[in-house]
Structure 1
Amino acid sequence: MNATTTDRDRAVLRAVAAGRCAYVAGTLLVDGLACCDQFLGPRLVRAGLIVGQGGGPARLTPAGRAVLDATPIAA
């Protein structure tokens, strides 16, 4: 999966890991604002990288954590 994730995907996964995201009515919120890429949240959910339930915080799945663990952070 890491080969098909974009820099934006990984940035959002890092925000999810930091507890900065919620998934509300099919919309990914980052720091309380709708993500500018309306397709990103649903794509990450379909890929099995994040989960969001009932308007609560988005959480990484084990697959999402594996993507982050396999990705070196650029300086």
Structure 2
Amino acid sequence: MEISIPVTWEKYKTAKLKFYESPVGFIKNANGRTGNSDFFLNDGTVVSTTNTREINERFRTILKKFNNPIELDRLIVYPRF
């Protein structure tokens, strides 16, 4: 049984911006991982402490590339790093 929780636009936007800030940290937190243990992404990429910056940049590039909402008032403006 799945339970849905209504989310306001502001909460959704905040979550998207937190993910953009640190995608690897967001994924680690969502999976309950602590410390610097390595893990795999769906495409088989190993995420470790040595390539975290590169993986974060890759995720940010993808987020910017596909940030094309139908409703222009729903555009999320991602900050530059």
Q: What TM-score results when the alignment is normalised by the length of structure 2? A: 0.29
Larger RCO (CA under 8 A, 6+ residues apart)? 1
| TM-score, normalising length: structure 1 | 0.30
Question: Which of the two has greater helix per residue?
Answer: 2
> Which structure is higher in strand share?
1
